[in-house]
């Protein structure tokens, strides 16, 4: 049976049941919660990654690591200003 042949209402009911089950699981059972979330994701379908390109550089803007203690102190003085 093809995924497209399954009625939308049936899929919706299964997702709602899995959501109720997910809510009943204690937070300490992280692995089980992740398995249920993965199943919900598969059930919802159309699970294709979306390519996203940032327009600007993404990341932390930090100076290079200091080679000496004095250089490290100078960097800290600059940041403190």
List pLDDT tens digits, range 14-69: 889 999 999 999 999 999 999 999 888 888 876 667 787 777 766 776 667 888 99
- Domain contains 62: no
Task: Using alpha carbons, list the distances in angstroms from residue 73 to 13, 60, 66, 69.
Answer: 61, 20, 9, 6
Closest CA to 7 of 45, 55, 60: 45
- Domain contains 11: yes
- Domain contains 36: yes
- Domain contains 81: no
Q: List the domain range (segments joined by +) for residue 19.
A: 1-47
- Domain contains 43: yes
Residues 14/43, Cβ–Cβ less than 8 Å: yes
Count how many domains the chain has.
1
- Domain contains 58: no
- Domain contains 72: no
User: What is the pTM for the complete model shown?
Assistant: 0.47
């Amino acid at each position: 049976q093809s995924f497209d042949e399954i009625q939308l209402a049936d899929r919706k009911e299964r997702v709602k049941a899995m959501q109720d089950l997910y809510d009943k699981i204690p937070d300490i059972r992280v692995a089980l919660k992740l398995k249920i979330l993965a199943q919900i994701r598969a059930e919802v379908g159309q699970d294709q990654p979306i390519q996203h390109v940032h327009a600007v550089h993404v990341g932390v803007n930090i100076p290079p690591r200091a080679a000496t203690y004095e250089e490290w102190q100078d960097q800290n003085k600059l940041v403190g200003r």
